[in-house]
A and B are shown apart, each in its own frame.
Chain A
Amino acid sequence: MFTTMFKLYPRKMKSLVKYAFICLACLTSSVYAQMPHDVIYMPKRTACIAASYINSSWKEYWENSLMRENLNIGTHTTQSVMPMVAVGISDKLNVIVGVPYVSTKASAGNLMGQKGIQDLSGWLKYQLVKNDKGISLHGVIGGSIPVGNYVPDFLPMSIGLQTKTATVRLIANYTHKSGVYLTAHESYILRSKIKVDRDAYQADSRVYNTNEVSVPNANDVAARLGYIKHGGRIQAEFFAEHFTCVGGDNIRRNDMPFPTNNMTSSSVGFYGKYQPQNIGFNVRVAKVVDGLNVGQSMSFSVGLLYQLNYFKKEEKK
């Protein structure tokens, strides 16, 4: 829960991917942002690399629906570094891959911080429909698999939940010729069972005598209102996101969170990008405004973007 969990969420992963996957296009010097929930595409045979730093922290959290602080945790902070690659397979089909290194710490109490490589995620984004009035529809499928052998149930200190995920998403966009745009998406996220070190645990008010844990599926919706100009060299948007689990239980009174919890959050934020040349950067700020079984985190991230033209060169040979 808490930011840790936020981070683990596929939605969050998408967000992470999003921040960092702002990429340059090819030598035409067009500049593109590219992420699994926007409608911008890398042109064919172009690629870009990006690296983001994300810092997310909370002091208060929702224990079930009760908002509280915990003097034995203090402020909980999650920091991540996320390298990513995005490639244009065609002008309408992009692939994005990334894997973060995550670390957690608590400012008070004695819970040991955790750190390590988290989950590898990959996305395919395809432009389904686009008309000449600025309206388009896009389909995205994504997946993630754990890379590091981290502990998933030492929450809120764990760096991830160890689930494999699969996401299907539909994105709709309207862009006015002035550069003002409105984007909305909805996704369904399948999350696999996980295995924990213990062979009995409590969830749904009962004891399960197994090391298998059922992590609930999830869905997320988001809306973004922004402005994009100069082929994507400048972009700014405000967004609202809502993430919710399909089922799941709640944190018990004064107990710690568990991967079976129904972690729900609503957040609002700002995203901006500036990329005058091959090198560019982006920033993102977001705050959780409401939730269940999660930390009320405030997060910010900065990303460094760099365009590659590797595939063009290869083609010339």
Chain B
Amino acid sequence: MQTEVVTTNSEDAAPGNGLDRENYINAKHGIWSWLLTTDHKRIAILYLITITLMFFLGGAFAAGVRLELMTPKGDLVDSDAYNKLFTMHGIVMVFFFLIPSIPAVLGNFLIPIMIGAKDLAFPKINLLSWYIYMAGAAFFMVATLFGGVETGWTFYTPYSTAFSHTNVILAAVGIFISGFSSILTGLNFIVTIHKMRAPGLTWFRMPLFVWAHYATSLIQILGTPVVAVTILMVAVERLLKLGLFDPALGGDPILFQHLFWFYSHPAVYIMILPGMGVMSELITAFTRKRVFGYEFIAISSLAIAVVGFLVWGHHMFVSGQSTYAGMVFSALSFLVAIPSAVKVFNWSATLYKGSVSWESPMMYAIGFIGLFTIGGLTGLFLAAMGLDIHMHDTYFVVAHFHYIMVGGAIFAYLGGIHFWWPKITGRMYPEYWARVAAVLVFAGFNLTFFPQFVVGYLGMPRRYHAYPDEFQVLNVMSTAGASLLGIAYLIPMLYLTWSLFAGKKAPANPWGAKGLEWTIQSPPTTFNFEHQPVVTEEAYAYAEGHDTTHDPAAPPAQAHA
């Protein structure tokens, strides 16, 4: 580690900063060095750029929806345009933003480093999965340019197969293709976690972020093929008039719902489990404390992944599904609430006697706990069969899943991006603005979605272009909140971009956090570690050792000694 020694003596004020040395960003130059890279960190950057574009595209669709709903009459756009807006908002956000978000960006960047490896097990497949994602996105963009699709992101049959006149097949093919990206990423993570852990890194010494991604990957490889086949069946029925789902052709429309939700409910856990992994890292780093109940948090991720596969029928309580099947699905849905509750309580208990610092990533983490709690509790309302009859397909459902998807997954994503930004880019962002943005996102989010619980119980159905007058006040509140939220999302875009050029240089470990990623320079070198690290202690061992991670001159291999 001679380079380390050299730089600490140089004018570089940030110890462990690698911007002026060789790192994964400046190791090679030119566009092809990025487009043909097999470096997991560079691939993570490719994903970061593309999913950020997708996020703002999906956000633009949402803005259209919220503007239309300011007034009870459908007066801003016509009904078909409105139906396209909410459909494409859903498709973009679910399939092209949330599902890849944390795994493909943070997971890709961090999992090899966290387990002490040079790269993922299959670096070329990792690059391939980005290209597959891009191909899927390209099909979807073509569908958009040809006028979009208006089936709802759920593609319910026989509407999608026999009645919609929009680009169902193009959009479906886009989703079908992008599914393989998800499968390959999951496969890569599972093999990497099994085979490439550093000496001494036993399963129960792994960071909980890695555990969460392991559970997520299981869902990705077991669930995604089912939705891929289902979407393909929709395309086949639409093209060839083969009777699969359309009763006029002898098919069963409810079969589609079973197949679709068999994946799409677990897909919710694909979106939230990695967020839970981020949470465990944030909470421990900003309390400088071992996580409370490590094993329980780790195992609860697996429990959520397994039980999450058995709850899909709770989307079908009013479809005419058998009452007794409904009861089983209801009971299992309540069961899956328990491991989530266990995580929330364990994170809360971690704060006890901690050294809590309220830096911006921690603000997102605290926001996550609150919003995820509300999202989880309102899930109980919907798992309750007698209540779900009334709430099904109303705005109550919309509010509930946005508390999980935005309040949970996006809060974790933003918290994680801020937390690891210095590691990824070698630059610090302006903390003041990060705190302002975190507060605004929290306020804007609640103002957007809390009124939707109320208007949902009043009976306002989802996907309504026009609505009765008495729902207007709550909808105006929601639109006001969405405006605030939209602005709040732009602030991090601005200061994070600014920080790339003018941010303070980041040290190796700006937060004083534990974990192998904080023992190497920021940004890391192409192969992450100079020597094979050896792990001698459990994760989050803040009480042991003496600030070795603060020592910029300490060679990585000894950082954990």
A and B: partners?
no
